[in-house]
Amino acid sequence: MTCANCARTIEKALLKSGDIKFAAVNLATNTGFVVGKNVDLEKIRKIVESVGYGISEEPAELVEEKRFKRIKKNLIISLIFTIPVSILMIINMFFQKVPYFSFIEMIFGAIVIFYAGRDTIRGAWIALTHKHTNMDTLIFFGSITAWLTTVLSLFGIHISSFGAIATMIISFHLLGRFIESYLRDKASKEIKNLLKLQAKEARILVNGEEIFLPIEAIKEGMVVLVKPGERIPVDGEIIEGISGIDESMISGESMPVEKKIGDEVIGGSLNLTGVIKIKTTKVGRDTFLSKMIELIQEAQGAKVPIQALADRITNWFVPTIILLAIFSGIFWYFGFDKFYPFIENAREYLPWILNTNDPLSFAIFVFVATIVIACPCALGLATPMALITGTGLAAKKGLLIRNAEAIQTMKEVKTVLMDKTGTITEGHPKVVEHNLSNDLLKIVASIEKNSNHPLAKAISELSNDYIDIENIEEKSGEGIFAIFNGEEYFIGKPLDYSKYSKILDLGYTVVEVRKNGKSIGYLGIVDPIRPDSFSAIKLLKEMGIRPVMVTGDNERTANLVAKQVGIETVYAQVKPHEKLDIIRKYQAEGSKVLMVGDGMNDAAALKGADVGVAIGTGTDLAIDNADIIITQEGISKIVDAIQISRLTFRVIKQNLFWAFFYNLIAIPLAMMGLLHPAIAEAAMAFSSITVILNSSKINLKSYNKTFITKKKKLACCS
Q: Is 701 exposed, middle or buried (0-12, 13-18, 19+ CB in 10 A)?
A: exposed
Average of per-residue pLDDT across 54-69: 77
Among residues 136, 419, 553, 610, which one is catalytic? Answer: 419
Average pLDDT over residues 460-475: 84
CATH topology of domain 430-526: Calcium-transporting ATPase, cytoplasmic domain N (3.40.1110)
The answer, yes or no, to whether residue 486 has pLDDT greater than 60, is: yes
pLDDT in tens, 83-134: 898 888 878 766 778 888 888 889 998 999 999 988 888 888 887 887 777 7
pLDDT digits (tens, 9 = 90+) for 596-647: 876 556 777 877 888 888 876 533 433 566 778 877 667 888 888 888 888 8
Give the least confident one: 83-92, 198-207, 456-465: 198-207
Please tell me the distance from the alpha carbon of residue 167 to that of residue 592, in angstroms, as a whole number.
54
CB count, 10 Å around CB of 76? 12
> Measured in whole angstroms, how far is the alpha carbon of residue 575 from the centre of its chain?
34
Rounded Cα–Cα distance for residues 233 and 32 (Å): 29
Q: Which residue has the higher pLDDT, 248 or 638?
A: 638
Mean pLDDT of 307-326: 75
Question: Can you give the pLDDT at residue 388?
Answer: 76
User: What pLDDT does 327 receive?
Assistant: 92
> What number of other Cβ atoms are within 10 A of residue 462's Cβ?
16
Instruction: Share the mean pLDDT of the chain.
Output: 80
Separation of alpha carbons 557 and 545, rounded Å:
24
pLDDT at 357 over 70: yes
Q: Answer whether 472's CB lies under 8 Å from 488's CB.
A: no
Catalogue the E-assigned strands of 354-423.
399-401, 413-418
Cα angle value 218/222/226 (rounded, 5°): 85
602 labelled catalytic:
no
pLDDT at 547: 92
Give the residue-averaged pLDDT of 435-461: 86
First CA to last CA across the chain, in angstroms? 53
Residue 36, C-beta contacts closer than 8 angstroms, at least 6 positions apart: 17, 19, 20, 21, 22
Q: Average pLDDT, stretch 412-418?
A: 89
In the 8-state DSSP scheme, what is residue 52?
Answer: T
Report pLDDT for 115.
92
Least confident segment among 6-15, 384-393, 523-532, 558-567 = 384-393
399-425+530-632 placed in CATH 3.40.50.1000: yes
Asked if the model's pLDDT at residue 197 lies above 90, the reply is: no
The answer on pLDDT for 653 being more than 80 is yes
Instruction: Give the whole-angstrom CA distance, residue 683 versus residue 176.
Output: 10
For 561, which DSSP code? H
Strands 223-226 vs 276-282: parallel, antiparallel or unpaired = antiparallel
Q: Does pLDDT of 396 surpass 80?
A: no
**Predicted confidence band at 215 (pLDDT cuts at 50, 70, 90)?**
confident
Q: Does 73 have pLDDT greater than 70?
A: yes
Min mean pLDDT across 203-207, 291-295, 487-491, 629-633 is at: 291-295
Cβ atoms < 10 Å from Cβ of 708: 12
Q: Pick the more confident residue, 255 or 654.
A: 654
Higher pLDDT, 62 or 442: 442
The per-residue pLDDT for 621 is: 38
Q: Is the pLDDT of residue 533 over 90?
A: no
**633 compared with 221, residue with greater pLDDT:** 221
Say which CATH class 200-233+235-282 falls into: mainly beta
Q: Is 690 exposed, middle or buried (0-12, 13-18, 19+ CB in 10 A)?
A: middle
Buried b (16+ CB within 10 A) or exposed e, 565-594: bbbeebbbebebebbbebbeebeeeebbbb
Residue 514 has pLDDT above 90, yes or no: yes
* Max mean pLDDT range (238-247, 481-490, 609-618, 671-680): 481-490
Q: Where are the domains of the chain?
A: 200-233+235-282, 399-425+530-632, 430-526
Amino acid at 291: K
CA distance 597 to 606: 7
- The per-residue pLDDT for 631 is 73
Q: List the beta strands (DSSP E) in 270-351.
A: 270-271, 276-282
- Residue range 181-193, pLDDT digits in tens: 776 666 555 556 6
pLDDT in tens, 690-707: 887 888 777 666 666 666
CB atoms within 10 A of CB 157: 10
> Across the beta sheet with 270-271, what order do the strands follow?
257-259, 243-246, 270-271
* Measured distance CA(397)–CA(379) in Å, rounded: 28
Spatial strand order of the sheet with 235-240 comes to 209-214, 201-206, 223-226, 276-282, 235-240, 264-265
Mean pLDDT value of segment 388-406: 77
- What is d(CA 133, CA 171) in angstroms, rounded to the nearest whole number? 21
Give 377's pLDDT tier (boundaries 50, 70, 90): low
Contact 98, 85 (CB under 8 A): no
Q: Which comes out higher in pLDDT, residue 423 or 286? A: 423
So what's the pLDDT on residue 428? 77
Using one digit for the tens of pLDDT, what is the confidence trace for 553-604?
778 888 888 888 899 999 988 887 788 889 889 988 888 899 887 655 677 7
Task: Determine the Cα–Cα distance for residues 396 and 709; give it in Å rounded to an integer.
Answer: 19
pLDDT level of residue 513 (50, 70, 90 thresholds): very high
The DSSP-derived string for 219-288 is: -TT-EEEE-TTPBP-SEEEEEE--EEEE-HHHH---S-EEE-TT-EE-TT-EE-SS-EEEEEEE-GGGSH
SS3 425: strand
Provide the whole-model pTM: 0.65
What's residue 491's pLDDT? Answer: 92
